[in-house]
Homo-oligomer: A and B are copies of this chain.
Amino acid sequence: MKPVKVFLDESEIPKQWYNILADMPTPMSPPLHPGTGQPVGPDDLAPVFPMNLIEQEVSTERWIDIPEEVLEKYLLWRPTPLYRARNFEKLLDAPVRIYYKNEGVSPPGSHKPNTAIAQAYYNKAFGIKRLSTETGAGQWGSALSMACQMFGLECRVFMVRVSYDQKPFRGMMMNVWGANCFPSPSDKTEAGRKILAEHPDSPGSLGIAISEAIEDAVGDENARYSLGSVLNHVLLHQTINGLETQKQLKKIGVYPDVVIGCTGGGSNFAGLCLPFVRDKIHGKEISIVAAEPTSCPTMTRGPFAYDFGDTAQTTPLLAMHTLGHDFVPAPIHAGGLRYHGMAPIVSHLVKEQIMEARAYDQIQTFKAGVQWARTEGFISAPETNHAIAAVVQEAERAKEEGKEKVILFNWSGHGLVDLAAYDAYLSGKLHQYEMPEEEIARALQAIDGLPKP
């Protein structure tokens, strides 16, 4: 009987988050105010986020204490198990050991509550009564719904319409946790109505949904906006995952050669990887690979540039890899990976070649996901299948090179409410998709004239 899981005792849960800003090897380009072109200050963000989270966003403290109230909620599912994927290894027949962190054991089934719980707590502590947010595949929206319920906050979720239609269960989940979920573009906001007037059949995008959620929040002094990825404080909260993983690996005396995660806005990937980035900055040899979809190739084909986080141009300008804030991706199923931008921290680390990005086609990712389900049992979220496709690629390379490797990846969530996507794949309804060059060029016109980092 060979062991496959490494648990941590609840008492071993990390008590602090890790802030990569304390260890960045080169300075990051600051967010800019779109009007003045000057770096934004805390006051500029005050109508959008509570001040305690704004302070976290700009903090350069290396370790930030996790509040007791947040830890208590984390314990509902954390520490999550670290698994060895022995059956998948056998299938791949390559000289690799594959470890994965199972973030699917949380109530909504993904890594998202790591920051949802923290954000709900800090908003509550700041006296806020209501949060408004956007969601792609619905993992974020459902996580924030649960978190708001647990801290007694009202919650409104603007869900990208194509996902809202494809994944009705996510909206129902939000309702069970007491939130309201609207398809976006909606008629609830100026931003939504404007898009609907021009494109009544718009499938929506994260950029549009963000505009709606921000607009919905800033008009109400008791409300704030909440973002499920991209920002520094979100990535910070997710590091609980990488920190746990490091403790677990230490218990079994293993250190990875490659760390992999799928990337939409970058938070699950960063959550696992940033503590390993710290090791790398301090000299450790390790590859850190971000897996994105070919249908939304933010880092592999988008430039590193200043751009808005949303379509209505209401956010500060962020220095990041981007496909342009008007980008509306093809309606592929990995809804959580369909964002035009990428977390500034991740973008910066890719630019500095500390991390590496690769793109995978949806056919390739579902193939990997079905192989995974048939060996390891668990059915992965379509997003997570991008990471698994990267694992397969790494294993194939190891085999070719005849080199032993330890691969670690973030199993960011399960796909039990994404089964329609598997059904489409198994019945041959999905096709390969590569973004045409001219479409990328057209989308990038949106950043013409913006400042350069």
Residue numbers of A with Cβ under 8 A of B are: 1-5, 7, 9-11, 68, 71-72, 75-77, 87, 105-107, 109, 113, 146, 149-150, 169, 172-173, 175-178, 370, 373-379, 416-417, 419-420, 422-423, 426
For the complex with contacts A5-B10, A172-B423, 19 further pairs of A-B residues with Cβ separation under 8 Å are: A1-B10, A1-B11, A1-B71, A1-B72, A3-B10, A4-B75, A5-B75, A7-B9, A77-B377, A105-B105, A169-B416, A169-B420, A172-B420, A173-B379, A176-B379, A177-B373, A416-B416, A417-B417, A417-B419
Q: A77 to chain B: which residues have CB within 8 Å?
A: 377
Nearest-CB distance from A83 to chain B (Å)?
8
With beta carbons under 8 angstroms apart, the residue of B4, B75, B149, B416 that contacts A3 is B75
Contact A419 B4 (CB under 8 A): no
Contact A426 B378 (CB under 8 A): no
Contact A377 B75 (CB under 8 A): no
22 contacts between A and B (CB under 8 A): A1-B10, A1-B71, A3-B11, A5-B10, A76-B377, A77-B377, A105-B105, A107-B376, A146-B377, A150-B374, A150-B375, A169-B416, A172-B419, A172-B422, A175-B422, A175-B426, A176-B370, A176-B379, A176-B422, A177-B374, A416-B416, A416-B417
Nearest-CB distance from A378 to chain B (Å)?
5
Q: A173 to chain B: which residues have CB within 8 Å?
A: 379, 416, 419
Cα-based distance from A379 to B416 in the complex (angstroms): 13
Cα-based distance from A378 to B77 in the complex (angstroms): 9
Q: A105 to chain B: which residues have CB within 8 Å?
A: 105
Q: A75 to chain B: which residues have CB within 8 Å?
A: 1, 3-5
The chain B residue sitting closest to A72, CB to CB, is B1
Contact A109 B416 (CB under 8 A): yes
Provide the main secondary structure of the chain A interface: helix
The chain B residue sitting closest to A375, CB to CB, is B150
With beta carbons under 8 angstroms apart, the residue of B71, B150, B379 that contacts A107 is B379
Q: A106 to chain B: which residues have CB within 8 Å?
A: 377
Q: A150 to chain B: which residues have CB within 8 Å?
A: 87, 374-375, 377
Q: A426 to chain B: which residues have CB within 8 Å?
A: 175-176
The chain B residue sitting closest to A9, CB to CB, is B7
Cα-based distance from A105 to B373 in the complex (angstroms): 15
Cα-based distance from A176 to B378 in the complex (angstroms): 10
The chain B residue sitting closest to A75, CB to CB, is B4
Given contacts A105-B105, A373-B176, A374-B178, contact A169 B417 (CB under 8 A): yes
The chain B residue sitting closest to A78, CB to CB, is B5
Nearest-CB distance from A73 to chain B (Å)?
8
For the complex of A and B, the 4 pairs showing the least CB-CB separation, nearest first, are A107-B377, A172-B419, A169-B419, A172-B423
Cα-based distance from A106 to B109 in the complex (angstroms): 12
Cα-based distance from A169 to B417 in the complex (angstroms): 8
Q: A11 to chain B: which residues have CB within 8 Å?
A: 1, 3
Q: A1 to chain B: which residues have CB within 8 Å?
A: 10-11, 68, 71-72, 75
Contact A374 B416 (CB under 8 A): no
Nearest-CB distance from A447 to chain B (Å)?
39
Contact A374 B149 (CB under 8 A): yes
Cα-based distance from A1 to B420 in the complex (angstroms): 40
Q: A2 to chain B: which residues have CB within 8 Å?
A: 72
Cα-based distance from A288 to B378 in the complex (angstroms): 33
With beta carbons under 8 angstroms apart, the residue of B7, B76, B178, B423 that contacts A376 is B76
The chain B residue sitting closest to A3, CB to CB, is B10
Q: Which of A75, A150, A416 has the most CB of B within 10 A?
A: A416
Q: A419 to chain B: which residues have CB within 8 Å?
A: 169, 172-173, 176, 417
With beta carbons under 8 angstroms apart, the residue of B68, B107, B423 that contacts A378 is B107
Nearest-CB distance from A240 to chain B (Å)?
14
Cα-based distance from A256 to B177 in the complex (angstroms): 30
Q: A109 to chain B: which residues have CB within 8 Å?
A: 416
